[in-house]
Structure 1
Amino acid sequence: MKRLIGLFLFLVMALAQGLGPFWQEVQVPGGVCSDGSPYRFYVSPGDPKRVVLDFQGGGACWDAATCGPASQTYRKRVDPQELLLAQGIYNRMSIANPFFGWTHIFVPYCTGDLHVGQATVDYGGFRVHHQGARNALAVLEYLFRNHPQAERVFVTGCSAGAYGAVFWADKVLSTYKNAQVALCGDAGVGVATEDFPGFRVWNPRYPDLPGLSPRPQVAEIYAALARAYPKAAIAQYTTALDGTQIFFYGLMKGERTPSEATAREWAARALQAVTLPAQAQNYTFFLAAGSQHCILPRPELYTLKVGETGFLDWLRALSEGKVPPRVRP
């Protein structure tokens, strides 16, 4: 009964504020998924001055084997049904959600290029449209046009979406100079082999930040964002043995099933990648034990703790523009 009453009160409040738990589809003229199908994104309306910009995850591909029609390593088209199944920050009816009442802009992922590609590639008999940058830019234009007076903006994404978030955060930060902006990458720490060909294949859009090398590492981008925008809160989350990130690292090394040595190697490099930007006072991280991939779309968002620190409290502080303490097991 209490849950029914709570749901009724939420719906009454939502109607009063012009909100709703449903997602509205926005078409993108010229937007395209990897298989050539049309691209669109989704908006759940809320407070126009508080906005979540959320990049979807879904693997990646970079050669004929990983990009092939039968490959399961990346999303090929937009599936809006996934929004209805997600939990965590997608629970629009929970007042415990740090983003309850916010506008939530969801950036689907279907291009196999971490949201940054600017290429269409022939892999020998089939073509893949790595046009994530085109799609992401259309979403950003919508954000800037419809929320010019935003006071809080939270840029985030899980897995491949974590890369979308960090690679596009500079545009958000340079646009909302007087807003409280936070970035939180969820389970995308950027560990890759030295000869990983993905970025060369995708012809990516790199952030516009001073001091970046021509092909910057992800940790380098986090550090550069923190330096360039000292008033922003910059953060990462991952587990210490993230099974999905280890799987993709194994693929880069030619292992269909990652070896124990590969898992250990990834764990050591991931720890270095997460802690490397820590010289900046406005950078923080939450490192959890275990192998689970992503936290933001999961119910564990509300229950996970490392020591005495709950992830929910840590995330809520970020949503308020604060820089919570760094957390590790």
Structure 2
Amino acid sequence: MILANGASNGEGLVGDAHLIPACAVGSNEGDRIKAYASSHPNPIASIDFRGTIVGIKPAPVIASFSGRGPNGLNPEILKPDLISPGVNILAAWTDAVGPTGLPSDPRKTEFNILSGTSMACPHVSGAAALLKSAHPDWSPAAIRSAMMTTTNLVDNSNRSLIDESTGKSATPYDYGSGHLNLVRAMDPGLVYDITNDDYITYLCSIGYGPKTIQVITRTPVRCPTTRKPSPENLNYPSITALFTTSRRGSLSKTIVRTATNVGQTEAVYRAKIESPRGVTITVKPPRLVFSSAVKRRSYAVTVTVDPRNMVLGETGAVFGSVTWFDGGKHVVRSPVVVTQMNPL
């Protein structure tokens, strides 16, 4: 059997198990094979098994079936958070069923090759467990932050990550903060922590009332009454500036983040800003100084847009970044998403 990708799946190959001899081909090869088969009365083909080839380039790429953003319900929070290995993963397999999972498959094997979120999630879960083991005092939010701010944004050809389904450069709506790099996440320098009170404030900001929130917290809750909090100010490792559609001139929004130093006690970080076309991003202060007495520092990110010059493109957003450098090995990067998308 020849299993050919459709156009939406591009050239990425997924190693599915089959009951009969089979091979998988990309969309372009599939089109050529179908053209050949339809134009010859007796088409002939052979399959040569040449073993495993390592070092394929480019890698990683964003799988065509990978979950994409934006976050339709709460667009102030970028999704996905990050990506991790999830295609053609060789892993342990139960002997209770055959490699296809079909009742008619009598084969037994200790290993299988699987693809999907069900393989990417265990990689991130395992990374989180290792981070918790190395840093038992870190909260779940700190662990997530460490993974998100230390990701890779280039492939093994040192080029921008590619979206497999389009063959074009991917965006944060495809990969979030980037591709997981556990070695760097072990020593992120700074983390963006989130407390229970921060989450309560966030729930208040997106319209949940105290009674509803108490179902989660099991304790009395009060939402601010004088000034509604902004959901963008949840201390997340990514930043999203959501503007309502407007034909007016320049629009501006300020978002606050608080960084906690988990690296060397005495440290100075400086900001580097990448602003997309039609957008101006500023950071105040542009320098964060940490010491034994000061482990947390807040800063404000002001995003100013001119809708007349901002080209949103197919994604409905433009993308930049705020990165903190300490002059050594720590590079703490947060993607910045600027969009006019309204919540569903």
Greater fraction of residues in helix: 1
State the TM-score, normalized to the length of structure 1.
0.26
Bigger Rg, which one: 2
